[in-house]
Amino acid sequence: MKPPFSSEEVIIKRLGEPKIKSPLSIADEVLLNNEILFHPYPGMEQEDPPVAFEISQPNKMIYFDPTKVTAAIVTCGGLCPGLNNVIRAIVMSLYHGYGVRSIFGIKYGLQGFIPSYGHPLIPLDPSVVSDIHEQGGTMLGSSRGAQSIEAIVDTLERQNINMLFIIGGDGTLRAAEKIEKEVDNRNLKIAVAAIPKTIDNDISFVSKSFGFETAVDTATNAIQCAHTEALSYPNGIGLVKLMGRYSGFIAATAAASQRDVNYVLIPEVDFDLEGPNGFLETLKKRLESRSHAVIVVAEGAGQRFFQNGEQATDKSGNIKLKDIGSLLKDRINEYFAKQSIEVNLKYIDPSYIIRSVPANTNDGLFSATLGQNAVHAAMSGRTGLLVSIWHGVYCQLPISLTISHKKTLHPSSRLWISVLESTGQPSFKN
C-alpha cells in the first residue's frame, strides 16, 4: 500500500526568496532539522526520499518588509473555543514580534470581502485585542456560505493586503485554497496562511484542533449532569447529544474521560435499534440490572434511521443532519411504553454552550501557538499552507493535502477500544 501522497505534495509554495533579516532574535536559534516525518500506517510503504512535513518555526530571513506589509485576519464558519485566542496571537506576533503596524480584521467571514455587504475593515492592534481571549466566540464575527473568489481577491488587491490569515474548517480551507490559486493566477504577492478550526477534530493531518479540549471539558459537565439525573429516578436515563457530524471524537473522548457513560453512539460505527441484539433491547437489560443508564450520541450517528428523501444543505453546502437525539428520545420512550415499563429520560443538548465558551488554559496556549506559527510562515513568504500539530510537533503543510479527505475515528483505534473497555457495550448489530 502506497502513502496517500508523495514527497512533492508536501512542499509549501513560496512567493520568492526571503532577503530581509528577521527582527526576531530567536530566529538565530533555528532548528537544524526542519522536518517531521509522516508516519505511515501499518502495512504502508514509505517513500524514498521519505515524506516529511515542515516544522513550524521562526526564520532567519523573511520575505515581507514589516514596515510596508499589510495583514488581514478573517474567521469563518461555526463558533469554536479559542477563536479570539488565535486572533489575539496573530496581532500580537505581527505587532510586537515583527513590528507590523498595518493589521485589519475582516468582519463577518468571507462576506467582509464583498462590497455589497458594506462591512467595514476593523483596524487591529494590541489595545484592541488585549482582552478578547477572555471571551468566547470571535470578535470579528463569522458567517457561512460561498462568496465570489474573484471578488475576494479583488478586495485583497484593492486594499493592498499582502498576507491573509484565514481561520476556519473544511469549507473555509477549500475557499482558502481557491483564493491562493486566484492570487497565483494574477501573479500577486499575497501570502495565504490557514489555521484549522473544527470543534469536531475532523481535519486530516491535524492531530488535534484548537478548541477540542475545551469542548470535551464542557461536554463532560453535561455528562455529569446526565448521570446525576439518571441516578435520581427509577429507570433513569440520561441522553446527551454532542457535536460530531462525520466523526465521533468529542463523544468518544468525553465518554472515555468521564467514565459514567454506558453507551456511546458515533457515525463511524453502525448500530441497530430493534432486534434481540439491538440498542433498545440492550438498554432494557441494563435498566433491569442497574436501574439507570447514560447514553452519549454524536450528532451524525444513526442517520440511516431517518426516511430517505431530499437532503437539505446549509449555506456552506453541508448536509443538514437529522436530529438523532430527538429520534432516540422518542424511540426509547415508545419502546418502553409498549412494554408498560416506566422510564425517566432526560435529554441534554449542550452544543451551542460548548461552541461558545472561552478556551481553557491548554487550548488558549495551543491556539495562540498556532496563530504565532502562521505569522512566522507568512512573513517568510510561504503561502497556501496550514499550520498543524502532528505527533506532538508543530508543523505546516499545504492546504490541498488537508482537504483531500476527512479525518474520522477508526473503530480499531486506541480511543474507541478505550470507550468499549470503559462502557462494556456490545456491537448493537443483529
Which residues carry out catalysis? Answer: 200
- Read off φ and ψ for residue 345, nearest 5 degrees: -100, 130
Position of cell 495565504?
192
Cβ neighbours, 10 Å, residue 410: 12
Q: How far apart, in whole angstroms, are the C-alpha atoms of residue 176 and residue 160? A: 18
Q: How far apart, in whole angstroms, are the C-alpha atoms of residue 330 and residue 405? A: 34
Q: Name beta bridge partners: 74.
A: 166
Amino acid 243 reads M
Q: Kindly give the pairing relationship between strand 20-21 and strand 35-37.
A: unpaired
Question: What are 178's three cell numbers?
Answer: 481557491
Question: What are 280's three cell numbers?
Answer: 433498545
Amino acid 347 reads Y
Total residues found in the chain within this entry:
430
Distance of CA 40 to the CA centre of its chain: 23
Q: Name beta bridge partners: 164.
A: 72, 192
**Angle in degrees, CA 358, 360, 364, rounded to 5:** 90
